[in-house]
Amino acid sequence: MEISFDNVSYIYQPGTPFEHRALHQLTFTIPSQSFVAVIGHTGSGKSTLIQHLNGLLTPTSGVARIGPYVLQAGEKNKDLKSLREQVGVVFQYPEHQLFEETIKKDIAFGPANFEVRQEEIERRIYAAIDAVGIQSDMLERSPFDLSGGQMRRVAIAGVLAMEPRVLVLDEPTAGLDPKGQQEIMDMFYNLHQEKQLTTVLVTHSMEDALAYADYIIVMDQGELYKEGTPLEIFLQPQALNKVGLEVPEIISLSSTLEKEYGITIDYKKQTLEELAEMVAHQLKGRATHE
Partner 1 sequence: MEKSFVTFKDVSFRYQEEQPWIFNGLNISVNRNEWVAIIGHNGSGKSTIAKLMNGLLFPQEGTISVDQMELQDETIWDIRKKIGMVFQNPDNQFVGTTVMDDVAFGLENHGIPREEMKRRIKASLNAVGMIDYIHHEPHRLSGGQKQRIAIASVLAIAPEMIILDEATAMLDPIGRKEIMKTVHQLREQRDVSIVTITHDLNEVTYADRVIVMNKGEVWYEGTPREVFAKQRQLDEIGLGVPLVTQFAHELKRYGMELEPEPINQKELVDALWKYHSTM
Residues lying near partner 1 in the complex (CB under 8 A) are found at: 41-43, 92, 147-149, 171, 174-181, 204, 206, 244-246, 249-250, 252-253, 256, 260-261, 272-273, 275-277, 279-281, 283-284, 287
CA distance 89 to 265: 39
- What is the signed CA dihedral for 5, 8, 12, 14, rounded to 10 degrees? -160
Query: For partner 1, which is the closer residue by CB, 68 or 175?
Result: 175
Query: For partner 1, which is the closer residue by CB, 107 or 219?
Result: 219
Q: Do the Cβ atoms of 107 and 129 come closer than 8 Å?
A: yes
Compute the least distance from the CB of residue 156 to partner 1, in Å: 14
253 alpha-carbon distance from chain centroid: 25
Compute the least distance from the CB of residue 12 to partner 1, in Å: 12
Query: For partner 1, which is the closer residue by CB, 31 or 148?
Result: 148
Compute the least distance from the CB of residue 234 to partner 1, in Å: 13
Compute the least distance from the CB of residue 176 to partner 1, in Å: 6
CA distance 230 to 187: 20
Query: For partner 1, which is the closer residue by CB, 76 or 259?
Result: 259
Residue 53 makes CB contacts below 8 A (sequence gap 6+) with 3, 64, 66, 87, 89, 166, 168, 200
